[in-house]
Amino acid sequence: MSRIYNFSAGPAMLPEEVLMEAAAEMLDYHGSGMSVMEMSHRSKTYQQIIDEAEADLRKLIGIPDNYKVLFMQGGATLGFAMIPMNFMFNGKIDLINTGVWTKKAMKDAKLYGEVNVIASGEDNGFKKIPDVKSLKFSSDADYVYMCDNNTIYGSKFKEYPDTGDIPLVCDMSSCFLSEPIDVKKFGIIYAGAQKNVGPAGVTIFIIRNDLLEKPAPRPLPAYLDYRIAAENGSMYNTPPTYGIYICGLVFKWLLRTGGLEFRDKNNREKAAILYDYLDSSDFYRPYVDKDSRSLMNVTFRTPSDELDAEFLEGAKKYKFTNLKGHRSVGGLRASIYNAMPLDGVRALVAYMKEFEEAHK
């Protein structure tokens, strides 16, 4: 077996321990004589898997009782549309634009009403996260929308806006479970699983009850109504059963390895190794301003597009993969989610030094 260091922005590395556990249980899950994949979602055994996954996630984050946890499908992208469909009651939201993901969310929200952009990083190429202290919210906004960590530019909020009584809705797809989360600051938190949590296909929503208690502002197809998902314990229809099971194993792995406090410490340590080196180098250029940097997605460039391409080619020798920047930004990107070990980051920096020496 030869596992490699996969720096993909998602789907991304999963903890090896979890993959081994899943492999061991693949053919015969706990004496059931079948794989979780083959199991009825209405069986007692599966009910236990999804219940445990939810209970472990609640414990891991400390999710208050007045929030529902939903395991859905459709990626964060379906959330871009479903959230306004379900919660744009008066037809107006405030939005902080930090790039591609909030723009997509904005486009879908505009189908249901007005989107008031209260801050944007557009003018600086999304290299800087807007200052949350100076934000002014619309008193009649249904919610304030933000994306915590922009996977593409490699930017991250260091603090959250205080929106008072207006619910704060946050796409945490690429930083969910990388650090402790104070859930009560938010009306809705959501994330696609394929970065820190599990396989693509599962999308987790944490939604405050008062939002779900208000009737939907428009007729909705059943699957697109969060209220129906919540009333049916994420099982109005067949949920992504195997994906939820893997997420459950990841939650258990996080719980037994020090929880989100440890992840925060470990992720800071990993990111510091990379950023310290980038800051000390005259060769590489980090993309994002220092005060806005992501701990999950580290974006940088060499002095030219040709050298970026050569860097990627040379990385193959060390079995590093997926270091190419997103097509809309170019350059290079190392995604170092929870499952990327410190050694992977150290090995990458050793290669970066070697490449710099050879080309400066």
Binding region for ligand PLP (CB under 6 A): 10, 75-77, 101, 147, 151, 171, 173-174, 192
| Whether the Cβ atoms of residue 80 and residue 109 lie closer than 8 Å to each other | yes
130: DSSP letter: P
**Nearer of residues 12 and 69 to ligand PLP, judged by Cβ:** 12
- At position 48, the amino acid (one-letter code) is Q
Secondary structure (H, E, C), 107-128: HHHCCCCEEEEEEECHHHCCCC
- The catalytic site residues sit at 101, 171, 195
The residues, ordered by sequence, that sit 6+ positions from 12 with a Cβ below 8 Å of its Cβ are 6, 194, 195, 196, 335, 337, 339, 340
| Nearest residue (CB) to ligand PLP, 49 versus 146 | 146
CA angle in degrees (0–180, nearest 5) for 3-175-62 = 110
Q: Which is nearer to ligand PLP, 149 or 302 (CB)?
A: 149
Give the residue from 84, 81, 52, 93 showing the smallest Cα distance to 69.
52
CA dist., res. 93 & res. 316, Å (int): 45
Q: Which residue lies nearer to ligand PLP by CB, 169 or 352? A: 169
Query: Least distance (Å) from ligand PLP to the CB of residue 1?
Result: 28
Q: Is the peptide bond before 221 cis (omega within 30 degrees of 0)?
A: no
Terminal Cα-to-Cα distance of the chain (whole angstroms): 36
Q: Closest residue to ligand PLP, Cβ-based?
A: 75
Enter the DSSP assignment of 318. Answer: G
Q: How far is the CB of 143 from ligand PLP (least distance, A)?
A: 17
Category of 164 on φ-ψ map: left (φ > 0), alpha (ψ -120 to 50) or beta: left
CB-nearer residue toward ligand PLP: 75 or 259? 75
Q: What is the dihedral of CA 233, 238, 244, 245, to 10 degrees?
A: 110
Which residues fall within 8 angstroms of residue 56, CB to CB, at 6 or more apart? 248, 251, 252, 255
Which CB atom, from 94 or from 171, has the smaller least distance to ligand PLP? 171
Rounded Cα gap, residues 326 and 310, in angstroms: 17
Tell me the Cα Rg of the chain: 21
Work out how close the CB of 176 gets to ligand PLP at its nearest, in angstroms, rounded to a whole number. Answer: 9
- Shortest CB 99 distance to ligand PLP, Å: 9
Contact 98, 150 (CB under 8 A): yes
The answer to whether the beta carbons of residues 234 and 72 sit under 8 Å apart is yes
Lookup result for tokens 């470990």: 266
- Shortest separation between residue 231's beta carbon and ligand PLP, angstroms: 24
Please say whether the beta carbons of 299 and 333 come within 8 A: yes
Nearer to ligand PLP among residue 307 and residue 331 (C-beta) = 331
